[in-house]
Structure 1
């Protein structure tokens, strides 16, 4: 669970691969071995097979709610997370998210002029601080990090430049428009599917450089089997482990 929550779910051969992991059974099913012969797995002699004795022990807890073995939990102990603002939504929606968070319990004193976290004085940085404060005060409830698509959860600590997490790979909003444009043109010219970000297409809105670059970078990365080095673009991009949503467009997780 700690490994999955950290975002490092790949294998030695494909270290950047995503992995979907499911809990098979929360509780041991102590009655499962008492299935009737008709419902049980049968061996060659027509009798219940060994799976009756095994599958009732797949849980994390005994039926009395005691842990079968020690584990760190679903969100702690190596599974720390943060809420960061989504640069692609534009300043107006970032401001709305900032106002919402600060007006509903986030501690926004540190981002006031002269306070320790006022710099960098950008909408993205201030919004990230505010939405993260709201998220942490809400017990890291995933629903508390949405703000109508203006924020998302990351599992690598943000580096202080407005919410860009270390070891994460989407676009970096701090590199500047010309840098993003050059990288966008490279991605679209080298195999990325950029049809969806053309005027009138499904992912054209929001019409911002960072939104279009994110879409193009991700397409290039996915089409190259998430290979090492395919999400860098001279430092203009980085990997995230939560599927980003930009406007109404969810970035695909496959080619």
Structure 2
């Protein structure tokens, strides 16, 4: 009597099932690894953004710790100049300009008064034309172009912490601006007294403190030399 051994009908099925399970586990592991890497990348980017933002805050904090202030109290004596409107018929020319007392970012007292020919340069940190003007004046001074017997005095005004290129103290230090700078008050007291209407803004005073010329908008060095020629 032939006796045959019957094969289990589930054996082949179990092998196939095990193979599928291993394949699924392998795919799931690969997918999990990819997802994990993606999450890690997102976390790393978030950390970098936070560090950069914190660094920007630290820069401003460092300026505050160092005693630098972007606005300083100012006082003005004398009648203010009329707002600058028409360079061809400027009503301020010939008038005695007001005197002003203020301070630099670090609190060093600075005065605008008669005594020597002075070019006032009013600058706003967020103004691209002011940024170009600062670079031009810095290069001009470095090349020995500024004539003897004249004074160039910057006035940082229109300062706003929510506008680009803030704070102005860091901007001017970065550009190595070589001239003294008054930090105007929050109400732009000095700018208003000298008739500022736009940026950059220039007021040329002679040694008596009288207005020789005013101008707004970016000036070339040749144009600035023409202003100096009127007082030398």
TM-score (norm 2): 0.25
Report which of the two has the higher share of strand: 2
Report which of the two has the higher share of helix: 2
Q: Which structure's CA Rg is the greater one?
A: 2
Q: Which protein has greater RCO, CA pairs closer than 8 Å, 6+ apart? A: 2
